[in-house]
Amino acid sequence: MARKFLYFVASMVILVLAGAFVFRLYGDELMEVAFVPDTEFTAQEVLETNVYADPLMWLARPELVKGNPALWLPQGYEDAEPALPEGKKAAVFFIHPTSFLDKDRWNAPLDDKESQARARIFLRGQASAFNAIGDVWAPRYRQATMGAFLTTKPEGQQALDAAYQDVLAAFDYFITQIPDDQPIILAGHSQGSLHLTNLLKDRVAGTPLANRIVAAYVAGWPVSVDTDIPEMGLDICAAPDQTRCILSWQSFAEPADYGRILTVYDMTIGFNGKPRKDSKLLCSNPINGDIDSSALATANLGTLVPNEDLREATLVAGSVPARCDKRGFLLIGDPPEIGPYALPGNNYHVYDYSLFWANIRADARRRMASFPVR
């Protein structure tokens, strides 16, 4: 039992290190040896045409009711607002973060039970924020393993590129299955948000589809205001009732130490081909629904405080504030008692949705109410 417990603790610590920009920064030689695959990258077989027509290729979609993690709600929770009428709902496309931790391959097999179980845990605490305003579609995809973020090997980027091709295939199928005029909400976290930034650039920018996007929630991934946003096809969500816009935030308790993140970030190139160095990060305040603002804890409608195995959570209101600093990080005051999985530097990446779950839920509803009537 003790051995199993220690394995569980180790796996959960690794879980919060899985699949985000910052994770490259904490991977020392030991982490690389332990988690970066030492095998050659093998190109994945191209998925069969229309493979996402199979409901089993989705963790969440409208037909899936029993066991659908995106339908989860905290025990005893009831929405204060009435349910939206069927004809007024959005279609929500959600891309889950990294849940594959193995080092025997660069991309997750679709039938890997452990990574799929972890992905379901993520969807309960993240995608569930959107289930009041529409049907959530969350594809399974051959995600890059956690080790892809802990190395400079070219195989790491190849794994991410391969995962993105699955996401594109899922999104293209999703678009064919919803009404031509139905509003769309896009959302993701960590590796999922990385793929979402590219999807916005490749599938939304400069297309009629941009007019149908209520909002895109790009949580847990850095987005440059100057070098990324102009290529992503939508404006920044500068007001709480704005639509056709992008939100993004990275959560840190104080004192926040994100210097190493900026070191890596400043070495990268933006979507417009120019260096991101010294450019400001997009900092949306999930409590206020705007940018570069501050909010007291009393304005936080509810933080999800998970239990030990992350399968359930209690909703606690008024416990976590939020303010954007000058560089574009979201600061949440003293470290909250929300769980043991904060990263070095008081980085609360794994809790980007949990910290503001009820406010994100209200934000999506408010933007839906403001979206032009079909």
Structure tokens at 113: 């039970």
Q: What is the pLDDT of residue 374?
A: 63
Mean pLDDT of 169-179: 97
- Secondary structure class of 278 (helix, strand, coil): coil
Structure tokens at 253: 């308790």
Q: What is the pLDDT of residue 88?
A: 84
As separate numbers, helices (DSSP H) first and strands (DSSP E) second, the chain gives: 7, 15
Q: What is the pLDDT of residue 348?
A: 95
Q: Is the pLDDT of residue 57 over 50?
A: yes
Q: What is the pLDDT of residue 16?
A: 44
Sign of the dihedral through C-alpha 336, 356, 306, 123: negative
Least confident window among 104-118, 122-136, 143-157, 218-232: 143-157
DSSP state letter for 240:
T
Interacting residues of 301 by C-beta distance below 8 A, sequence separation 6+? 287, 317, 358, 359, 361, 362
343 strand-pairing partners:
347
How do the domains of the chain map onto residue ranges? 2-370
Predicted model pTM: 0.91
Q: Is the pLDDT of residue 33 over 70?
A: no
Report yes or no: 359 and 301 within 8 Å, Cβ to Cβ: yes
Least confident window among 7-11, 127-131, 181-185, 197-201: 7-11
Q: What is the pLDDT of residue 19?
A: 45
Distance, CA of 32 to CA of 310 (rounded, Å): 26
Q: Is the pLDDT of residue 135 over 80?
A: yes
Report yes or no: 67 and 61 within 8 Å, Cβ to Cβ: no
Report yes or no: 28 and 268 within 8 Å, Cβ to Cβ: no
**pLDDT tens digits for 71-89?**
999 988 988 888 787 778 9
Q: Torsions phi, psi of 31, nearest 5?
A: -65, -40
**pLDDT tens digits for 214-239?**
999 999 999 999 999 999 999 999 99
Q: 235-236 and 184-189: which strand pairing?
A: unpaired
Cis peptide before 255 (omega within 30 of 0): yes
Q: Give the length of the chain.
A: 374
